[in-house]
A = this chain, B = another copy of it.
Amino acid sequence: MLLPAEKPIPNIPETNLPKLVIVGGGFGGLKLARKLIKGPFQVILLDKNNYHQFQPLFYQVATAGLEPSAISFPLRKIFHDTPNSIFRMAEVHSFDSKIKRLYSDIGYIDYDYLVLAMGADTNYFGNQSIEYNSSPMKTVSEALYIRNKIISNYERAINIEKQEDRKSLMNVVIVGGGPTGVELAGAMAELRNNVFPKDYPELNFSNMKVVLIEAGPKLLGAMSEESQDHSLRYLQKLGVEVMLDTKVQDYDGEQVKLEGKESISTHTLLWAAGIKPNLIDGLTKEHFAPNGRIYVDEMNRVVGEKDIFVLGDVALLREEKYPKGHPQVAQVAMQQAENLAKNLINLTKGKEMEPFRYKDLGSMATVGRKLAVVDLPFIKFQGLMAWLTWLFVHLMAILGVKNKMFIFMDWAWNYLSFDPSLRLLIKPKYVKASERKELIEEK
């Protein structure tokens, strides 16, 4: 049998349209596919999952507020009634720009235009022990894993006699003071304050620490000073221990070692301290910036290539106002996708392409009930209004009427009842009854 890499991906509809292959169905790749799906290209979207993930709400999956399905959108759904364009679930590993061929685990495909939109994964900055022992949150599965981990830690803690020995199972330490870290810390603190004590009356949650560690001097480094100060105050109000100017040295699964400070005991280290672009083989070293992003021109085109484009987190596009590249956020990826869609159409018509100009629509982060911070270009505000704005903007941004409806209901329920009801340890691994017996015997 031929290896997948040696045979073409089968069953691609035959057309006379130029083949546009998009790698990754995140904010950038999905937006581009939706813009061009009905022509003048044959769009072939590849992703290793069969769904789009709405990253801004991962933290609510991790803290038992939302189901994974509520923030996941089946990619096949946008390809209903698109006879030329298709989706395939595939892991892409490399491409050969000379013969314009992309290789994946289900076969190769020859492209006319290639768009790389693979997004980013967690960056541990080379520390393998942290990578091995901490929990990242860059996929919906990882978020679900965090939920399961925390619940099973409490189910374990309850069976430990001494208060002292339980602490490390109960403490949650979050590294990274960006929006993800801030939102996780706030939600964890609210669970501790309102929910867990009812579920686990045997445990003393005043002993449970929620710690947020940030290497820099401020939380939400990319936001305004008002937002930075407010988010810090909100977190402290909820009882989060915020440690600024603090560097994590190492973590062995039980002790977080800090530079020049006392270690913290925890079984749960949530790592939200950095990201790095996902890789693909096919470009030479000169194409990559030291941080792993790929240099592109103002049309998102790989420098020196004619038909390869890069979107979002992976792209390093130097605009005058952003000499070090744009922030790695959804807004940038989506705006680049919109611009690229126009440019690709221009290209087929022989028209000039237009350079990308990022329009910063603002940023926001939520800390807890009625506590959020919003920076808009023309106004900054905090508190209840900011929280309602955050809710509205995220609800509108979620794909799919059903997801919108269910998330709204979930939020309303959680708000009114103080009872995010997904505290279920549905074990991720499927074990057959027969194997269970063996596992028990092995013990």
Contacts and interface: CB of A to CB of B under 8 A. Distances in A.
Interface of A: 9-11, 13, 49-51, 67-69, 72, 74, 76-77, 79-81, 83, 86, 88-89, 91, 93, 105-107, 121-122, 128, 131-132, 136, 138, 140-142, 144-145, 151, 155, 158-161, 198-202, 400, 402-403, 405-406, 409, 413, 417, 419, 421-430, 432-434, 440, 443
Contacts of A10: 159-161
A67 B433 CA distance: 22
Contacts of A425: 49-51, 89
Contacts of A141: 426-427, 430
Given A89-B155, A136-B432, A423 B50 contact: yes
A419 B403 CA distance: 13
Contacts of A419: 402
B11 A161 contact: yes
Contacts of A428: 428-430
A421 B50 CA distance: 12
A422 B161 contact: no
A437 to B, nearest CB: 10
Which 8 pairs across A and B sit closest by C-beta, in order of nearness? A145-B430, A76-B199, A10-B161, A89-B155, A11-B202, A106-B159, A51-B424, A80-B198
A405 B141 CA distance: 26
Contacts of A74: 199, 421, 423-424
Contact of A68 (B198, B426, B432): B426
Most B Cβ at <10 Å: residue of A140, A151, A428: A428
Contacts of A423: 50, 74, 76
Nearest to A159: B106
A135 to B, nearest CB: 9
16 contacts: A50-B155, A50-B425, A67-B67, A69-B421, A69-B422, A69-B426, A72-B426, A83-B201, A122-B433, A128-B434, A131-B432, A138-B433, A144-B430, A402-B421, A405-B413, A428-B430
A425 B67 CA distance: 14
A138 B432 CA distance: 10
Nearest to A149: B430
A330 to B, nearest CB: 20
A32 B419 CA distance: 24
A136 B140 CA distance: 26
A144 to B, nearest CB: 7
A115 to B, nearest CB: 22
Nearest to A74: B423
B400 A409 contact: no
Contacts of A89: 155, 425
Contacts of A155: 50, 89
A14 B427 CA distance: 32
Most B Cβ at <10 Å: residue of A13, A67, A91, A409: A67
A424 B72 contact: yes
A103 to B, nearest CB: 12
Most B Cβ at <10 Å: residue of A88, A122, A128, A422: A422
Contacts of A80: 198-199
Contact of A433 (B69, B121, B424, B443): B121
Contacts of A413: 402, 405
Contacts of A443: 105
A50 B138 CA distance: 26
Nearest to A128: B434
A273 to B, nearest CB: 14
